[in-house]
């Protein structure tokens, strides 16, 4: 089943063609990596899928429903979760309270975050925290968490919305290599268990090749290759882009 289908999307900023006629799809339970050098148009694609940007041309279809140009909040309600490059948690609240906030927000209740969030949905929050390996940290203040744990908390908060599609733009930025592999391995296992579609970007090619079911490659706004890890790794155009940039680990 196709979770996300993007057809022929384009976006320009003034004279800059950030994304040109890009099409791809992500199936339920699939990990799709979008790679390409810095400035290739990856974040612009994410922002068009998540509703932060409206495409100049093309369509974004979520589970058969056209969501092109729909505002982010409405897209989020339709089951699109996002993790951001900058960790978006409330530092003074506990780990569990942050997840409780996300659960309450998903349930659509009007709430007083500093009163009721403490009591609502605690069991559910603890269950989600167990899934991301943070059960032991539930009652610590978020501000005390190690960076890698903040990213796992963000994942738990995104899952609280019961998404069918997760957009992860550089989720492992700033993490040590071992932590990156662990976060993406965790994401992959959750995606498979929940039949969740995941679109992610990642600079570390070891992580990409280990955890992506398929890969799409962007260069200067255009899609230049698409396929399984072995196919993409062997692609002449992909090699030219990465070798041309003087690195095998992507841009920054």
Chain residues that interact with ligand ADP, rule: CB under 6 A = 13, 16, 18, 36, 38-44
| Angle, in degrees to the nearest 10, between helices 122-131 and 95-107 | 110
Instruction: Report how far apart, in Å, the C-alpha atoms of 22 and of each of 18, 46, 55, 65 are.
Output: 11, 12, 11, 19
Q: Beta-carbon neighbour count of residue 1 at 10 Å?
A: 11
Which residue lies nearest Mg ion, judged by its C-beta? 43
Query: Segment contacting Mg ion (CB under 5 A): 6-14, 28-36, 42-50, 101-109?
Result: 42-50
Nearer to Mg ion, 129 or 242 (CB): 242
From the list 29-37, 43-51, 60-68, 133-141, the region that binds Mg ion by CB under 5 A is 43-51
In whole angstroms, how close is the CB of 11 to ligand ADP at the nearest point? Answer: 8
Contact 172, 250 (CB under 8 A): no
Does residue 172 touch Mg ion according to CB under 5 A? no
Look at residue 146 and give the partner it binds from ligand ADP, Mg ion, none, a contact being a CB closer than 5 to 8 Å depending on partner kind.
none
> Shortest gap between Cβ of 248 and ligand ADP (angstroms)?
17
**Among Mg ion, ligand ADP, none, residue 40 binds (CB under 5-8 Å by kind):** ligand ADP
Stretch of 34-42, 75-83, 124-132, 231-239 contacting Mg ion, by CB under 5 A: 34-42
| Burial class (CB within 10 angstroms; exposed 0-12, middle 13-18, buried 19+) of 72 | middle
Greatest alpha-carbon pair distance for the chain in Å reads 58
Secondary-structure percent of the chain, ordered helix, strand, coil, rounded to 5? 40, 25, 35
CB proximity list for 244: less than 8 A, separation 6 or greater: none
Residue written as token pair 């009163």: 115
Among the residue ranges 35-43, 177-185, 206-214, 231-239, the one whose residues contact Mg ion (CB under 5 A): 35-43
Complex with ligand ADP: residue 149 or 170, whichever CB lies closer: 170
* Least distance in angstroms from the C-beta of 82 to ligand ADP: 14
Of the candidates 163, 159, 204, 213, the one whose C-alpha atom is nearest the C-alpha of residue 30 is 213
- Asked if 43 touches Mg ion (CB under 5 A), the answer is yes
Instruction: Provide the binding-site residues for Mg ion, judged by CB under 5 A.
Output: 42-43
């Amino acid at each position: 089943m196709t979770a996300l289908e993007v057809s022929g999307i384009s976006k320009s900023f003034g004279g800059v063609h950030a994304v040109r006629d890009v099409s791809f799809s992500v199936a339920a339970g699939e990990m799709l990596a979008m790679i390409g050098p810095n400035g290739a148009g990856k974040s612009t694609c994410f922002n068009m899928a998540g509703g932060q940007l409206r495409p100049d041309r093309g369509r974004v279809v979520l589970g058969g429903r056209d969501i092109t140009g729909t505002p982010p909040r409405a897209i989020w309600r339709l089951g699109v979760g996002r993790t951001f490059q900058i960790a978006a948690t409330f530092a003074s609240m506990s780990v569990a309270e942050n997840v409780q906030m996300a659960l309450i927000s998903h349930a659509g209740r009007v709430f007083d975050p500093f009163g009721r969030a403490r009591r609502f949905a605690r069991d559910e929050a603890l269950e989600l925290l167990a899934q991301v390996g943070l059960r032991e940290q539930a009652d610590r203040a978020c501000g005390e968490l190690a960076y890698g744990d903040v990213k796992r908390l963000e994942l738990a908060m995104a899952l609280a919305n019961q998404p069918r599609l997760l957009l992860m733009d550089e989720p492992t930025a700033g993490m040590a290599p071992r932590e990156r592999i662990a976060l993406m391995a965790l994401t992959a296992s959750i995606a498979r268990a929940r039949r969740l579609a995941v679109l992610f970007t990642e600079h570390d090619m070891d992580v990409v090749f280990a955890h992506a079911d398929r890969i799409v490659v962007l260069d200067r706004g255009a899609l230049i290759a698409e396929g399984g890890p072995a196919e993409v790794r062997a692609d002449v155009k992909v090699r030219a882009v990465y070798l041309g940039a003087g690195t095998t680990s992507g841009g920054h």
